[in-house]
Structure 1
Amino acid sequence: MKNKFNEYYKLSEEEIKDHWEKDIFCFDANVLLNLYRYSPSTREAFFSLLEKVKDRIWITYQAAFEYQKNRLVVINAQREAYKDIRETLTKKKGEIEAKLNGFKKHPYLQTAELKKQIESAFDSIGRDLDNLEKKHPDYLDKDPVWEKLSGLLDGKVGDDFSKDDLEKLYRDGKKRYDERVPPGYMDMKEKQNEGNRSLYGDIIVWKQVIEKAKTNGNSIILITDDLKEDWWYKFKGKTISPRPELIKEFKVETSKRINIYQADKFLEMANKNLAQQTTKEAIQEIRNIRLADELDIEKEVRELEILLEDNGDENFKENARLLVTNKETSFEKVIRISSEEQNK
């Protein structure tokens, strides 16, 4: 049975070790863009591993294109965080003061003194935030992440598909999406107005990875921070494995094996199989960012499901169902909305 359905079975430790010693490491754009979300020490730990495997790194043209296109958007989102926090603090401070005003005649609550303490606390937080913002590097002016990646990936980016090949892929992609064949169909609603290159970006990456394995004859280790179900086999909220359909398609097309990891698991496996020494703290930081993104998705899905239950309008329900089944991470949403604003 395992021979017929090996895409559902995990590799042995010996098989995994062999892949890690020989395979090509391929990184999706979201992994490269997430480097801007890590603390400096964790980012350096990630770069340390990239340096160790640099002779076996290769990325698709599509992943490199998406990184270049979205780099400044992601950098700007990190800068905007300070503004967002200030606005939140101002709002919360106003809410607290308004609440205290309702207790001016309270016999024991000294509202004036409490207001002074609250004012002092918020001022202190504001000063700390100002200091942090001043220390934040201006990556719009000088971007060391971009410079390091440019050096590491020099000569290691694949070629783009021809115009004719892309047009054929778009036609095939439409059929795949309609039949919910992974990857990428979860982008169908969110990116339908962004052009074919964006709409079918996941399929372009996938097909370029397959072409690399065909040409080079190597198995691939693909690292992606895409969280959607068109990449991952999930059951009752738990991620079980990469989608078996992807592993099977890759084997049918190339006669090789593809192993797919998210960034935190990639670093964890590198410690085990490449004698890398990434700290537990760095791995946990990367995992926490992924888990936060997953929680954002789950929260939004739950809210939409509640709306589904409470609203009897069938048209509303159908629209809500589409949203529930086509969620994007808050990180992806930042990129999408910012891109839309730039294109207006």
Structure 2
Amino acid sequence: MKQYFSGFYSPTESEFKEIWTKGYFVFDTNVLLNPYRFQSVAREVLLKAFIAVEERIWIPYQVGLEYHFHMMEEIIKQRKEYEILEMKLLNKVSELEADYKKHSARHTHLKLPQSLHQKYSEIINEIVADLKIQKSNHPDLNDVKEKMLSIFDGKIGAPFEEKQLEKIYEDGEVRYLNKIPPGWADASDKKNKTKYYNEIHYKDEYGDLVMWKQTIKYAKDNQVDVLLVTDDDKEDWIKKIKGEKVGPQPELIQEFYRETNGKKIYICNTKSFLE
């Protein structure tokens, strides 16, 4: 029965050991961006884990493309968060004053106690002062960028030609209408968004599907099993029953097995990969 419905079954212990010790690790864009988002200890653990398996890492070109488009955005975003939070904190004092003013305008007794107002302002200012210290100690994420380059350099697959991409986009329209994974859950949010690089327009809504097709092609051409690490837990990747996650979408496992002439794929998130 498993021969025809392998997508519904987790690998056995021996099958998993085979995939883990001989298969190739493919990391999704969201996983490659984690070192920029994690705190220092978690970042170092993840970087060490990448290094531990670097001899068997392969990254689809689509993932490399998305990573480089979001890498600098993430570095700038991390730095800007301090300023955004500081502004929100400072606004809390004026918001408190405005709230009291609004509710006490036609009230006979309601007022903001001056002593509590001062304490509140002092606490906010202390938090802001601590935030400035944290900002001054913020790690140089350009160092992270260089570490990632040293780990993943030379491990990126070749891009698809424009004609190949156009065919995938055409197929994607039909797949998404029928909710065939992956990618359909992101379609509405990424509709009409594109990236332009090296004289090719990439349609964002089909990014997951392109990545999936490139992964299948690599596994088929090299006859290797794959461990795909992704933190995408939407229903075009993860099957859910009454809100409970039960594993990867069976169709993904079945399609991979079918298109690669019997190779296996194991899909997990960053936490499971580190464990």
**TM-score scaled to structure 2, two decimals?**
0.90
Give the Cα separation in 1 of the matches to 2:115 and 2:100: 11
Q: Deviations over 1:142-191 (max 9, x none)?
A: x1222111111122111011122112111111111122111011222111
Give the Cα separation in 2 of the matches to 1:100 and 1:187: 43
Question: What amino acid does structure 2 have at the position aligned with 1:111?
Answer: P
Give the Cα separation in 2 of the matches to 1:131 and 1:34: 23
Q: Which residue of 1 aligns with 2:273?
A: 266
Instruction: Tell me if the contact between 1:192 and 1:199 (Cα under 8 Å) persists in the aligned partners.
Output: yes
Q: Which residue of 2 aligns with 1:136?
A: 138
Q: Which residue of 2 aligns with 1:52?
A: 52
RMSD over equivalenced CA pairs, Å: 2.0
Higher relative contact order (CA 8 A, sep 6+): 2
Unaligned stretches of 5+ in structure 1?
269-344
Give the Cα separation in 1 of the matches to 2:140 and 2:53: 29
Q: Which residue of 1 aligns with 2:64?
A: 64
Give the Cα separation in 1 of the matches to 2:112 and 2:159: 69
Q: Give the 3 Å change call, closer, same or farther, for CA 175–110 of structure 1 in structure 2.
A: closer
Instruction: Tell me if the contact between 1:183 and 1:206 (Cα under 8 Å) persists in the aligned partners.
Output: yes
Cα deviation, residue 106, structure 1: 5.7
Instruction: Tell me if the contact between 2:97 and 2:112 (Cα under 8 Å) persists in the aligned partners.
Output: no
Q: How does 1:211-222 map to 2 (within 5 A)?
A: 211-222=217-228
Q: Deviations over 1:2-55 (max 9, x none)?
A: 332121112222221221111100111111112211011111101111111111
SS of the residue 2:188 aligns to: coil
Instruction: Tell me if the contact between 1:231 and 1:242 (Cα under 8 Å) persists in the aligned partners.
Output: yes
Q: How does 1:237-316 map to 2 (within 5 A)?
A: 237-254=243-260, 255-268=262-275
Q: How does 1:7-156 map to 2 (within 5 A)?
A: 7-99=7-99, 102=104, 111-139=113-141, 143-156=142-155
Unaligned stretches of 5+ in structure 2?
195-201
SS of the residue 1:208 aligns to: helix
Is the deviation greater in 249-258 or in 109-118?
A: 109-118
Question: What amino acid does structure 2 have at the position aligned with 1:15?
Answer: E
Instruction: Tell me if the contact between 1:230 and 1:243 (Cα under 8 Å) persists in the aligned partners.
Output: yes
SS of the residue 2:233 aligns to: coil
SS of the residue 2:255 aligns to: helix
Q: Are 1:224 and 2:223 an aligned pair?
A: no
Cα deviation, residue 59, structure 1: 0.5
Cα deviation, residue 256, structure 1: 0.8
Aligned residues: 264
Higher strand share: 2
Give the Cα separation in 1 of the matches to 2:16 and 2:93: 53
Cα deviation, residue 201, structure 1: 0.7
Instruction: Tell me if the contact between 1:82 and 1:133 (Cα under 8 Å) persists in the aligned partners.
Output: yes
Give the Cα separation in 2 of the matches to 1:84 and 1:209: 39
SS of the residue 2:189 aligns to: coil
Cα deviation, residue 125, structure 1: 0.5
Q: Specify which of 184, 203, 209 is matched with residue 203 of structure 1.
A: 209
Question: What amino acid does structure 2 have at the position aligned with 1:62?
Answer: Q
- Structure 1 segments of 4 or more deviating over 6 A? none
**TM-score scaled to structure 1, two decimals?**
0.72
Instruction: Tell me if the contact between 1:100 and 1:111 (Cα under 8 Å) persists in the aligned partners.
Output: no
Give the Cα separation in 2 of the matches to 1:257 and 1:154: 26
Question: What amino acid does structure 1 have at the position aligned with 2:78?
Answer: Q
Give the Cα separation in 1 of the matches to 2:153 and 2:3: 39
SS of the residue 1:188 aligns to: helix
Cα deviation, residue 92, structure 1: 2.5
Of all paired residues, the percent bearing the same amino acid is 40
SS of the residue 1:170 aligns to: helix
